[in-house]
A = this chain, B = another copy of it.
Amino acid sequence: MKADTLPPLHASQPLHSQIREHLRAAILDGRYHEHDKLPSEQQLMTQFGVSRITVRHALAALQQEGLLFKVAGKGCFVSRPAAKPVQTLARLQGFAEAMSQRGHTACNRVLRLAPCPADTAIATALGVDAGSEVMEIRRLRYLDQQPVSLDISYFPLALGQRLAREDLAGRDIFLILENDYATPLGHADLTIHACVADTDTAGQLGCRSGDALLHVERVTRAADGQPLVLDYLYYRADRFSYQLRINRS
């Protein structure tokens, strides 16, 4: 619960972000255990050589993420360890991105990749005219060689045509957008439902029709608010769940 390595704090990344990742690693690596008390804000200020607001900025992010919680007058404490095939909803992440952080391997199989006309829901979400063409991409996602989810995604046509030339089987689309296309991601709006598998979906996911599925509708937008993609995600409920922390106030 002590002996942090000296803070590197190189450059090119915001200080609060470097401190956040340093603390996240310390917690996930097991250098702190459940209910361990973290250094006080004062100690972190001197340890990293930054102001209190910067320390609090980093701590607030980790608190939102559920890795720690604060108690006024006492201090800051580490919470749950956790490591299952669950995806945290605290940060917008691609599936492979989230799973590889937890020691799983993820890959996709592209089932379908073709333009199609946008129905009203798709048109509204993407901000295009109903009936105009959008790119539909259907992928089957595998976690540790087992099918886990069916993703049906709709992209604005130009973006979809560009993506069609990429390695969609091996890479997260989020990372292609951010790294290759220099499109900073902003946020995603999710609605989480449950449904049962029909015969087709069950066949693709390798489960039985009538099995429960987690169903998510997700609209992802760039940092400037522009809609990038509408996803319909169907997860096998026996192999996947979401996990998150909610704070009061």
Contact = CB atoms under 8 A, between A and B. Distances in A.
A246 to B, nearest CB: 4
A243 B189 contact: yes
Interface stretch (A110-118, A133-141, A207-215): A207-215
B249 A91 contact: yes
Interface residues of A, number: 51
Number of copies of chain A assembled together:
2
A1 interface: no
A237 interface: yes
A92 B194 contact: no
A191 interface: yes
Contacts of A242: 190-192
Contacts of A185: 248
A249 to B, nearest CB: 7
Given A196-B196, A225-B69, A225-B71, A243 B91 contact: no
Contacts of A247: 91-92, 186-187
A86 B89 CA distance: 17
Given A69-B187, A89-B244, A194 B214 contact: yes
Contacts of A245: 187-190
A89 B90 CA distance: 10
A237 B191 contact: no
Nearest to A188: B246
A80 B92 CA distance: 18
A213 B214 contact: no
B212 A69 contact: no
B225 A187 contact: no
Nearest 5 A-B pairs (CB), nearest first?
A194-B194, A194-B237, A185-B248, A194-B212, A92-B248
Interface of A: 17, 35, 53, 64, 66, 69, 71-72, 74, 77, 79-80, 86, 89-92, 184-196, 210-215, 221, 223-225, 235, 237, 241-249
16 contacts: A69-B187, A69-B225, A71-B225, A72-B223, A80-B189, A90-B246, A91-B246, A92-B248, A190-B243, A191-B241, A191-B243, A192-B192, A194-B212, A194-B237, A195-B212, A196-B212
